[in-house]
Chains A and B, each alone.
Chain A
């Protein structure tokens, strides 16, 4: 790097200390600083424009009754009215909240462990392991909207595959998978898991492949059986992957939207926070202020897993 390119007065010369106006010395040359400002500034600008600005706008709008037409004026500000109504008067907020919690619990206790279990099985070099791997992974390449369409066809009460295959349509004991508010959430959780299991499986499998095989051998020598090896040795070693899996699961539960929206626009037992936001603020209803208030609540909840994830990532890096 020692300067062999002439004519660049500010070209970086490694190790040089450059004087500043205060007479103190900086490790970085002016060129370095320009590059730095450019490299930090551009992403920062994008970040502010595309993430922080909309986020803060949502927070501000959540205190208004703005209907999406024209500018926001002082008369639009209504204080905490949206929040007050959301928590005390809006019948759908707590059900939607509960549905998100059920979604999270289902993914955390059923779908994610299942995906991890499949990964562990596939890691054992079964015959046809590649085939199984592709089969389980196949739904992951589909968008959730497509998953919703596919499962809507399966669950449809009279025309759907499931009720017809079980002979329920002929015998007249139709199960209303999509319309019964007690079961439709679980029906779409099956659809969501169909994709989620494969997703988790692939990530976990990649992690398992990277585990040092000598660990297993050592455990075997020490007389540990398969189950003990997994829970006492492999699982703890996989800690960074486990955190990623946990965070993915939490985020999937929080952003749950697509399938419920495809099925019935998220009503009648399929209310979710994300759907309440959409139906209130982006629909013809155009209750932008109220929708934003729900969005702010969802944001606050989402901060939990985000902070856990970031602190984890940063700790690993340092």
Chain B
């Protein structure tokens, strides 16, 4: 099958700088960017992205690359039932909109897919694969395992705000991914539980702890927490480090420009130890799904997690559970960085594998699939089946969003600084089970400990890694 795409280019002329509405953040565009700058833009820029996403439906038409027949393939980590169904709906829609182009979907268990990504991308990967933005995307782009897709991006970029544009650029300034969804991390709770006990939303650290104490008295687990999977604890580390030490320190720490032995890291652990007494018992043996069940079944009062916690509320089968789910932003900790309102809002993306054996034959179809993924209508199809994340496209029909999704878009847009998540902002060889995850678990085994030797180990491990 030859290349049967028929690209219609849409270009939008942009000035050199864009002022993010409602903020005083200026986005430098078209300049020489260092990697730091790109990271920063990913952060700043997201603000713009989400502000625009909140601005009501737009009429922007995205490009219209279509395929007519032929084949392509997709390596997908969307292995849980709910997102997998969403992906299948999208693929079916793609096939019927592209003259019967067949997509062979290879779904691999989410964790396995991530563990094997290196050998997968070097072996015989599918044409298109699901991945994450941030440092984690740039890492594989730098290694030459992802194919640049600047041409597709030029067709569709008018459908994305500049924040997303920054998040999909590699260190070489080429575009490597199509952003398809994002979600914030925040503190989730049940409205009915808060109403029954007349709890108020805490906005500062003291109120937060007072509320937790009160919940304890009322027989609730104040803060659901689960870290058998290893990564959830990173979410708490991120938010505490962001709020106590600021966005700049956090992002620099993630890429090794700051030391783990810094007293500011010790402060994070110290602050964290004020929360651990409120955590679910036996949290190190629980999965995030089990902790979400505690929140769902009104056994726990609050849960700091990503919006995907709603998947468990969808799966409960009772629509009222989802209607009761709400969240509030992490309370102010009393530092000068509270004003940044920084939070983790990871962006999920679709990329093209450079070493796919079928890519040369299928590149037109693969690009058509990527372009299809960038459409608001596609993303809404996926979102309807799996509402744990928010579509990224400007032309996604937001009128259908329930209050929770609208609020999720809102909290991200009101944040002045956005990070992706520790394992997306830092190097993959530092974020694994026998590194960062293990370090945090050994901290959590005894939160009152003097963390200086642990921090020394963390820095040692970082130093042992070969330079990127």
Contact = CB atoms under 8 A, between A and B. Distances in A.
A43 interface: no
Interface string B439-468: 001100100000000000100110011100
B257 interface: no
B285 A284 contact: no
A263 B286 CA distance: 10
Interface string A267-281: 111010001100110
Q: Which of B118, B227, B430, B433 has the most CB atoms of chain A within a 10 A radius of its CB?
A: B433
B193 interface: no
A267 B438 contact: yes
Interface stretch (A11-19, A29-37, A61-69, A192-200): A61-69
A177 interface: yes
Q: Which of B285, B290, B428, B432 has the most CB atoms of chain A within a 10 A radius of its CB?
A: B285
Contacts of B154: none
Interface stretch (B86-94, B276-284, B318-326): B276-284
Contacts of B114: 283-284
Interface in B366-425: none
B466 A279 contact: no
B281 A172 contact: yes
A70 B119 CA distance: 11
B428 A176 contact: no
Nearest to B113: A284
Contacts of B198: none
A204 interface: no
B429 interface: yes
A48 B285 CA distance: 43
A85 interface: yes
A303 to B, nearest CB: 24
A154 to B, nearest CB: 12
B285 A157 contact: yes
Nearest to A157: B282
Contacts of A90: 460-461, 464
Q: How large is the interface on A (under 10, 10 to 19, 20 to 34, 35 or more residues)?
A: 35 or more
B133 interface: no
Contact of A267 (B111, B433, B457): B433
A181 interface: yes
A81 B464 CA distance: 8
B285 A177 contact: yes
A263 B290 CA distance: 14
Contacts of A65: 466
Contact of B119 (A68, A156, A181, A267): A68
A267 B431 CA distance: 13
B285 A290 contact: no
Contacts of A177: 285
B286 A157 contact: yes
Given A69-B122, A283-B115, A287-B465, A265 B445 contact: no
Contact of B290 (A69, A81, A156, A172): A156
Contact of A68 (B118, B228, B432): B118
A226 interface: no
Contacts of A268: 230, 284, 438, 441-442, 445
A99 B33 CA distance: 48
A286 B285 contact: no
Contact of B230 (A91, A181, A264, A269): A264
Contacts of B119: 68, 282
Contact of B433 (A69, A85, A184, A266): A266
A138 interface: no
A90 to B, nearest CB: 7
B371 to A, nearest CB: 28
Contact of A158 (B290, B429, B460): B290
A89 B285 contact: no
Contacts of B335: none
Contacts of A176: 281-285
A113 interface: no
Nearest to A65: B466
B197 interface: no
Contact of B282 (A67, A89, A180, A290): A180
A264 B228 contact: yes
Given A68-B122, A176-B281, A268-B441, A89 B461 contact: yes
A195 B117 CA distance: 33
A131 to B, nearest CB: 35
Contacts of A174: 281-282
B432 A285 contact: yes
A89 B432 contact: no
A159 interface: yes
A263 B122 CA distance: 29
A178 interface: yes
Interface in A208-250: none
A44 to B, nearest CB: 29
Interface in A150-196: 155-159, 172, 174-181, 184
A101 interface: no
A290 B466 CA distance: 10
B230 A267 contact: yes
Contacts of B195: none
Nearest to A279: B434
Given A179-B282, A267-B437, 8 more contacts: A67-B143, A67-B429, A69-B118, A92-B438, A176-B285, A266-B434, A282-B116, A283-B116
Interface of A: 65, 67-70, 78, 81, 85, 89-92, 155-159, 172, 174-181, 184, 263-269, 271, 275-276, 279-280, 282-287, 289-290
11 contacts: A67-B466, A68-B118, A176-B284, A263-B228, A264-B433, A265-B111, A268-B230, A283-B115, A284-B116, A284-B428, A285-B430
